[in-house]
Structure 1
């Protein structure tokens, strides 16, 4: 397994830290959009796509500089394109899961609160986002390690 090697474990931990920063960006932008921009309140799927995109830019930068500093045989543009492709596939994985979970969780949490309360929607949005971020992180690590950053030694 990839994580039996101490260098790979270190990379995974760094990737996870970078991912946590990306998740903070993802959650922060998502909540700003869904709380303060009326359009996104009703169209959270678009808000999560925008927040995801901004997190991808941050993640690429920090992964290139810190997680994989020894990956320099490819141009930054080639790595960016590969990272972006992996991320778009991750977005394609996460969006339908988010849509399904969002609906399920809104229905579930709505029964816990008074009719018309915004709280179940906020909880459902954030719970769905947390689940999809965790799910897609595994895809992102494996795909980026073996494709985007395949020029580093184990």
Structure 2
């Protein structure tokens, strides 16, 4: 029966069937279920990082009155540390065979550029929607937009550089 899930179906195959997103076809992930599963793990780690990022951003900006971009830089950096740890342990466990300092340096460089993109998108969207969207939803919506943009940068560059050679 079409659309029926069988107990024999593997998790990656089920995910491919359920998540027929344009990105899956664009990057050939449909033909590479293990890579799709790895991307989903990366996105899960990123979701945890997003909770860390947004929590710290709101605490620093609202509770302590730090400038939005200063608070964003601190919150983003904290989330990056969390993401590096979980990606090394769970998303790319094979990468633990490599020296941690070199890999951390690569990850940090990618994320410094990611921070620049994040701050740029955050500030641009925030400036665009301020006055139309009430505080604190304005900067949180801008931050979520920035996170979405940076997700694809971070995965793409980290996959081909920081975690290259991992099947």
Q: What TM-score bracket applies, with the shorter chain setting the length?
A: 0.7 to 0.9
Q: Please give the per-residue CA displacement for 1:38-96, whole angstroms capped at 9, x wherever unaligned.
A: 2x1xx111111110000000000000000000123421001100000110111111211
Aligned counterparts of 1:101 and 1:76: Cα–Cα separation in 2: 36
Aligned counterparts of 1:25 and 1:136: Cα–Cα separation in 2: 16
Moved over 6 A (4+): none
Task: Tell me, yes or no, if the aligned pair for 2:89 and 2:96 is still in contact at 8 Å.
Answer: no
The structure with the largest helix share of the pair is 1
**Residue 140 (structure 1) shift:** 0.4
- The answer for unaligned runs of 5 or more in structure 2 is 1-26
RMSD: 1.1
TM-score by structure 2 length? 0.80
TM-score by structure 1 length? 0.87
Larger RCO: Structure 1 or Structure 2 (Cα < 8 Å, ≥ 6 residues apart)? Answer: 1
Aligned counterparts of 2:28 and 2:113: Cα–Cα separation in 1: 22
Question: How many residues matched?
Answer: 140
